[in-house]
Amino acid sequence: MKHILTTADFSNNAYNALFYAIQLLRNRTCTFYILNTYEEHTPLVSKRIPTGKGHGLLDQLSDESEEGLKTTLHRIVLDNENTNHVFKTISTKGDLVETISKTVVKNNIDLVVMGNKGTTAAKAIFMGSSAVKTIKAMKLCPLLTVPGEIDFEPVKKIAFVTDYKRHFDLNVLSPLLFMASLFNAPVRIIRVSESKSLNKTQKSNREILKQYLDPVDYKVEWIPNFSNKPKTINNFLKNSGTDMLAMINYDKSFLKKLVQGSLVKKVSFNLDIPFLIIPSED
């Protein structure tokens, strides 16, 4: 992964995600693109009222975006003396999610990193609305969401949740393998289901997955679940000392249902660790 896109709304949450990314990739040569977008309804930072409507407001929003990015760039350069890292800023008018998708294509982005509200005062959601919208739209590269409360620690254990119902290939699994390789983190393959038994297709897919994960230390586990799957996964993550969660965003997958599902499920799945969402090729 050489080209990383991070989003900036100039909050501590967003900066923490950027800082986490540079620490995560500290031993890799990378270019970080720091993106800020604005639209007519974007709140102004300053108290000054624009002299005119429309163009005057957008001019002020553009100025604030550029100034905010300069401040962020100055801060991250001071916080990061790694000569392997190059930083570039992007300020543009437009919808955030649409701009992310266009920037991914234009700059050959390998990973998008966003802040995740996580377990802040907004306890009714398991991540911020921008992250949720990006998960739904992201088709071309993986997304890593980072809770604003965490300090960086080397990744020592990754949980990969799957039901083995889809075929695996190396291209889809490469982000997971890459994350595991950064700090030689073992991968715990987690299946949460009422039944421990697998059908023929699931068994075949599991064996294929094991072959692809052969370069890393991995363990296959089954967790019985009879009521609340999000809560079961969340409890496992907390009790096992997992540092990162990874899922593939298949159509009709657990992740898809979680993003589009009820508030109760989202509250049960309030993550406090980084979450790697890998797009499928379906």
* Residue range 106-155, pLDDT digits in tens: 999 999 999 886 444 444 445 667 777 887 777 889 999 998 878 899 99
CA 244 to chain CA centroid, Å, is: 10
Same domain, 162 and 140: no
* Residue range 180-229, pLDDT digits in tens: 999 999 999 999 988 899 999 999 999 999 999 999 999 999 998 767 88
Q: Which of 121, 147, 173 is the last residue of a domain?
A: 147
Same domain, 59 and 192: no
Per the model's pLDDT, the better-predicted residue between 46 and 116 turns out to be: 116
HSE-up of residue 198 (Cα within 13 Å, Cβ side): 17
Same domain, 59 and 97: yes
Q: Which string of DSSP letters, residue by residue, matches 79-136?
A: H---TTEEEEEEEEES-HHHHHHHHHHHTT-SEEEEEE-TTSS-TT-SS-HHHHHHHH
- Domain extent, residue 208, equals 158-275
Same domain, 133 and 170: no
Q: Return the closest-CA partner of residue 273 out of 153, 163, 110.
A: 153
Same domain, 85 and 15: yes
Question: Could you give the CA distance from residue 25 to residue 20 in angstroms, rounded to a whole number?
Answer: 9
Q: Return the closest-CA partner of residue 117 out of 213, 17, 193, 22.
A: 17
Residue 15 has pLDDT above 50, yes or no: yes
Question: Could you give the CA distance from residue 182 to residue 274 in angstroms, rounded to a whole number?
Answer: 15
Contacts of 43 (CB under 8 A, 6+ apart): none
Q: Return the closest-CA partner of residue 161 out of 82, 223, 251, 73.
A: 223
Q: What is the CATH number of the domain that holds 264?
A: 3.40.50.620
Same domain, 171 and 135: no
Per-residue pLDDT, averaged over 61-80, amounts to 93
Which pLDDT score is estimated for 128?
67
* Residue range 246-279, pLDDT digits in tens: 999 887 667 767 766 554 455 456 788 999 999 9
Q: Each residue of 58-88: b (16+ CB within 10 Å) or e? A: bebbeebbeebbeebbeebeeebeeeebebe
* Residue range 86-100, pLDDT digits in tens: 999 999 999 999 999
